[in-house]
Amino acid sequence: MNKSELISEVARKTGLSQRESEVGIQNMLDLISAELKKSGKVTLTGFGTFDVGKRKARSGVNPRTGKAIKIPASKMPRFKPSRSLRSAIK
């Protein structure tokens, strides 16, 4: 399911218009993104937790040249599903 299919399904299940559903979903995604940019955490009980993980600097290999390169430390978004979500998809 992609974003437009999600919007259509939310509109169908809630009785809202496509536009209202799109605005609601986009606002939710914007709020989650804003919190993660602040290195915060968003927990949706019964669904899961979004947070920011940190990757250490490491060495790698350039696949074209075979030379060793240094990969800098970085942050990345993570999602950890709740126990109830994990058991629902088994």
**Domain spans of the chain?**
3-88
Place of tokens 């950890």: 80
Q: Give the pLDDT of the chain (90 residues) as one tens digit per residue.
A: 999 999 999 999 999 999 999 999 999 999 999 999 998 999 999 999 999 999 999 999 999 999 999 999 999 999 999 999 999 998
- pLDDT at position 35 is 96
| pTM summary value | 0.80
21: exposed, middle or buried (C-beta count within 10 Å: 0-12, 13-18, 19+)? buried
Return the structure tokens found at 3: 């974003």
Strand partners, 75: 54
- pLDDT at position 12 is 96
Tell me yes or no: is domain 3-88 CATH 3.40.50.720.
Answer: no
Q: Are strands 74-81 and 48-55 parallel, antiparallel or unpaired?
A: antiparallel
